[in-house]
Amino acid sequence: MTSTRLKDKVCIVTGSAQGIGLATALKFANEGASIAVWDLTQAGIDEAVRQCREAGAQAEGYVVDVTQREMVDAAVLRVKERFGRIDVLVNNAGITKDARLQKMTIEQFDRVIDVNLRGVFHCAQAVSHTMVEQGHGVILNASSVVGLYGNFGQTNYAATKFGVLGFTKTWSRELGPKGVRVNAVAPGFIKTHILDSIPDKVLEDMKHRVPLHRLGTPEEIANVYCFLASDEASYVNGAVIEVSGGMTV
């Protein structure tokens, strides 16, 4: 029997045409939620929407570049018009453009800041008004273990993921009294397309840094997002949940 932990909740998942975002959209769909798929490519969005509907959910797709505030505001309005409200935002969209400090270009730095930090701000601010008016809502932000401990060659990415934790702590204080919970998830090494270009030997080394001796799956991150989005997490606010197989122990 299909679980209904998110029954009747309207959920926006950014960057949900692939990877952790897609796994989260599908998990939410299977738990009874209505899904708004946000991403950059129409083909990817259409396929994600198809899979969500196949799981029995109401789902709509929207082409949204989270760095463009006008697109974000327009998509929020369309989601409200289609579904009547917004219960959950998963700020999943993010990119990497790695380089060591001495070699990182200004363009690499700015692009990652723009998507991973400014984009999270745009989306959260855009939905916050609706959630406060409703008197309830959940904002979930994608951080990373890199946002807890840093990582070689990821000055820009680490800055954004540390920054997202600052957002989470601040917004949980500001919005908590208004019925809106804000939490963050910090994944470790997760098997997604981002790892496709990494040599097998490096992947093996990564696995051995994790006590469970394996990479995580997008579904394992989606499970945590689902818990945090559900009423089961009704007293969880301002938290950062590391999902890394114990790699930082």
Active site residue 235: no
Domain ranges for the chain, please list them. Answer: 10-239
pTM: 0.97
In the predicted model, what is the mean pLDDT of the chain?
96
Q: In the prediction, which pLDDT does 143 show? A: 98
74-84 pLDDT per residue, tens: 999 999 999 99
**Token code pair at residue 135:** 């008197």
Cα–Cα distance, 150 to 159 (Å, whole number): 8
Which 3 state secondary structure label does DSSP give 172? helix
Q: Cα-flanking dihedrals φ and ψ of residue 78, to 5°? A: -65, -40
The yes-or-no verdict on residue 113 having pLDDT over 70 is: yes
Cα–Cα distance, 110 to 106 (Å, whole number): 6
Judge whether 3 and 221 are in contact, CB under 8 Å.
no
Q: In the prediction, which pLDDT does 1 show? A: 44
Mean pLDDT value across residues 56-69 = 98
Q: In the prediction, which pLDDT does 198 show? A: 79
Judge whether 214 and 245 are in contact, CB under 8 Å.
yes
189-243 pLDDT per residue, tens: 999 987 777 788 988 998 999 999 999 999 999 999 999 999 999 999 999 999 9
183: closest CA among 126, 232, 146? 232
Q: In the prediction, which pLDDT does 12 show? A: 99
Mean pLDDT value across residues 19-46 = 98
Q: Which of 62, 149, 157, 225 is catalytic?
A: 157
114-136 pLDDT per residue, tens: 999 999 999 999 999 999 999 99
The domain defined by 10-239 folds into Rossmann fold (3.40.50)
Whole-angstrom CA distances from 108 to 55, 113, 145 are 38, 9, 21
List, as one string, the DSSP characters of 21-75: HHHHHHHHHHTT-EEEEEES-HHHHHHHHHHHHHTT--EEEEE--TT-HHHHHHH
> Where does the chain have alpha helices with state H?
19-30, 42-54, 69-83, 106-113, 119-134, 146-149, 155-175, 200-208, 218-229
Percent of the chain at pLDDT above 90?
A: 93
Tokens 């916050």, residue located: 128
